[in-house]
Amino acid sequence: MGNALLLMVVRFSRGKKSTLSRDAELAATEQRLVALQAQILTLAERDSQSFAPVAAAYQMPNATPAEKAARQAAIDQGLVGAMVVPQETLRLAQAALAAVLPVADCAGKSIVSDLAAGAELLRAAAEIAYLNLRINVALLSGSAGARDALAAAAQIHDAVGKQQAALRAAADRLLG
C-alpha cells in the first residue's frame, strides 16, 4: 500500500506545469515503482508459504536425543528459509523510498499527505519485517550467517527510517 501511494503521488505529479522540466525523472521513478509493486505484491503469499516448514518442524517428535536434534535442525532450516521474505521486504521498502526521495519536491500540496502516508506505511512494513528477522535469529540454535543477515538488515532498517524521515520533512515543507 505504501508503494502504491508513492506511485500515485508520482503519477499525479507528472505533466504539471510546475514539474514539466522534471517529467523524465518522474517517469523513471514511476517505472521503478511499478516494477517494485510487482515484486511487493508477491510477498504476502510467499511469506505465508515460507513459514510452513517451521510450523511442520515444531510438530516433529522430540522424545529421544536423535529426534530432538532432527527437530531442531528442521526448525533452524525452516527459520532460515522464513527469513528470506522479511529480508526482501526490507530491501523493497528501502528501494521504493530511495526512488521517490529525489522527486519528493514535485508533489503538489493536494497530494503531499499521500507522500507522507506512503513513506510511513513503507517504514511500518520495514519495521515489521525487521522484527520478524530478529525473532527468527533469536529462535535459531546458532548461525553466524543468520546473525550476519540480521546485521545487514539492521543497516537497511536504519536507512528506511532516515528515508521516511526525509520524506516526512519534505511533506512538511510542502505543506508550509
- Average pLDDT, stretch 70-85? 92
The model's pTM? 0.91
- CA dist 7 and 13 (Å) reads 10
71 contacts 61 by C-beta, under 8 angstroms:
yes
Residue 21, Cβ density class (10 Å: 0-12 exposed, 13-18 middle, ≥19 buried): exposed
pLDDT, residue 113, reads: 95
Tens digits of residue pLDDT in 38-54: 999 999 899 989 989 99
Q: CA nearest 7: which of 130, 96, 127? A: 96
Q: Is the pLDDT of residue 145 over 90?
A: no
174 Cβ contact list (under 8 Å, min separation 6): 105, 107, 108, 109, 112, 115
Instruction: Spell out a b/e string for 75-110, using b for 16 or more CB atoms within 10 Å of the CB, else e.
Output: bbebbbbbbebbbbbbbbbbbbbebbbebbebbeee
Amino acid found at 138:
A
